[in-house]
Structure 1
Amino acid sequence: MSAPRNGTDPSSAWAEVDDYLARTLLPEDETLELVLDENQAAGLPPIDVSPLQGGLLSLLVRLSGARRVLELGTLGGYSTVHLARALPPGGRVVTLEHDPRHAEVARRNIARAGFGDVVDVRVGAALDTLPVLAAEGGDPFGLVFVDADKPNNPRYLEWALRLTRPGSLVVVDNVVREGRVVDDTSSDPVVTGTRAFLTALGEDPRLEATALQTVGAKGWDGFTLALVR
């Protein structure tokens, strides 16, 4: 395949590069492809992380040595399977999903992938289930991945700090919003929530954080990565 020429739609070129990188770096994976097929058949929105982003999540779990992972926003379980695969023996993922229908699809996908006894799917608004999770106690989470409703990201960050320990990682997706994050006049709750989250992230002395813009099959967006001090 030839390189994109000048004048090519940038988003088309981004997707082409994403496809090339995925084919070059990632092995074929029938299990994950089946998860995406099942999500599509169930009518779930096509907002899963990309294969390359899923690979990054897996590497972050391995690099951090996390034994317990918390995910906010299960959807159909595609990212959840990436997280679960990277756990050491005895590890566990707790994933929170607001929509019962999405959670049902995710449970089927996760069980089919062989992680039914590793992943705990909890249904309900995250701000309702997080206090229950905290009350249960248990070891802190070594990694938190937030990919849920963006207006509540500042509150999710507060909970992430309550449920982690020094050395834990907090990863938050979709923080660029096709560049709209720089618009300080926006009244869009997604933008204002993202901006409030980023401000809180940058000002909190308990965190060391960075952000990366991304382009690819998912368009123009980005994520933050924070280390709990």
Structure 2
Amino acid sequence: MNQQQWDSVDDYFTGLLAPADEALTAALRDSDAAGLPRINVAPNQGKLLHLLAQVHGARRILEIGTLGGYSTIWLARALPADGRLVTLEHRPEHATVARGNLARAGLDKLVEVRVGPALDSLAALAARPEPFDLVFIDADKVNNARYVEHSLRLTRPGSLIILDNVVRGGAVTDSSSTDPNVLGTREALRLIAEHPKLSGTAVQTVGVKGYDGFALARVLA
């Protein structure tokens, strides 16, 4: 298998099972026009997030890492009319693009975009009375373990925590790596494996985003 074959299969799955609409297409277009990096989830991965949120019956969602709001749209569309999604974005210029994309998708009333370092925003959310049902972590990988720790404090038994980009092109297996992204990811995976309040697994993926994967954990208590 090679990247061309992975792309072809992803294109087939996307066209059949997760076709684009105007809001999703425009979100990617405006993100490109604003110079945002092309690191958003693939369409079929966005559909997976959407289905996980729906199956779980999520009413309160937390996203760590907004970028242009593409994955935010997929997640927010799974919410009921009285649901709420809080998404955290470090860079103000990214947040501006995301807010525009969310407004065009008709989701701005369901979504709150908070700007600033995610660890600061997460600490501020500790006073929030309602726990989150689902957390999607897709931000800087160095702080992955900290994000999981905060997610535990902000969720309830039964909540889901999804951690993206855990394979790192296979580098996650390298115990001698000095790459901060690999180190942060390995630390987060160890935390999921060892924490008594978490049960999780990780899955490898290939596709238009190359060779990567995600971890999925359930809060036990």
TM-score range, shorter chain: over 0.9
* Alignment of 1:129 onto 2:121: yes
SS of the equivalent of 1:159 reads helix
- Structure 2 counterpart of 1:51: 43
After TM superposition, list the pairs within 5 Å mapping 1:48-127 onto structure 2: 48-127=40-119
- Structure 1 counterpart of 2:180: 189
Percent identity between matched residues is 60
* Alignment of 1:17 onto 2:9: yes
Residues in 2 aligned to 1:21 and 1:67: alpha-carbon distance in whole angstroms: 28
Residues in 2 aligned to 1:28 and 1:54: alpha-carbon distance in whole angstroms: 11
Deviation at 1:226, TM superposition (A): 0.6
Deviation at 1:64, TM superposition (A): 0.7
Deviation at 1:12, TM superposition (A): 1.1
- Structure 1 counterpart of 2:191: 200
SS of the equivalent of 1:211 reads strand
- From the CA coordinates, give the structure whose radius of gyration is larger: 1
The residue type equivalent to 2:186 in the other structure is: R
Residues in 2 aligned to 1:73 and 1:26: alpha-carbon distance in whole angstroms: 22
- Structure 2 counterpart of 1:5: none
**Pairs aligned (count):** 220
Deviation at 1:11, TM superposition (A): 1.1
Deviations 1:114-154 (A, max 9, x none): 0111100000000111111112x221000000000001000
Of residues 172, 180, 184, the one that matches 2:171 is 180
The residue type equivalent to 1:180 in the other structure is: A
* Alignment of 1:220 onto 2:190: no
The residue type equivalent to 1:187 in the other structure is: T
Residues in 2 aligned to 1:143 and 1:173: alpha-carbon distance in whole angstroms: 13
Runs of 4+ with deviation above 3 angstroms: none
Residues in 2 aligned to 1:140 and 1:189: alpha-carbon distance in whole angstroms: 30
- Kindly report the root-mean-square deviation, in angstroms, between the aligned alpha carbons of the 2 structures: 0.8
SS of the equivalent of 2:216 reads strand
SS of the equivalent of 2:175 reads coil
Residues in 1 aligned to 2:176 and 2:47: alpha-carbon distance in whole angstroms: 35
TM-score, scaled relative to structure 2: 0.98
- Structure 2 counterpart of 1:139: 130
Residues in 2 aligned to 1:176 and 1:212: alpha-carbon distance in whole angstroms: 8
TM-score, scaled relative to structure 1: 0.94
Q: Where does the alignment leave 5 or more consecutive residues of structure 2 unmatched?
A: none
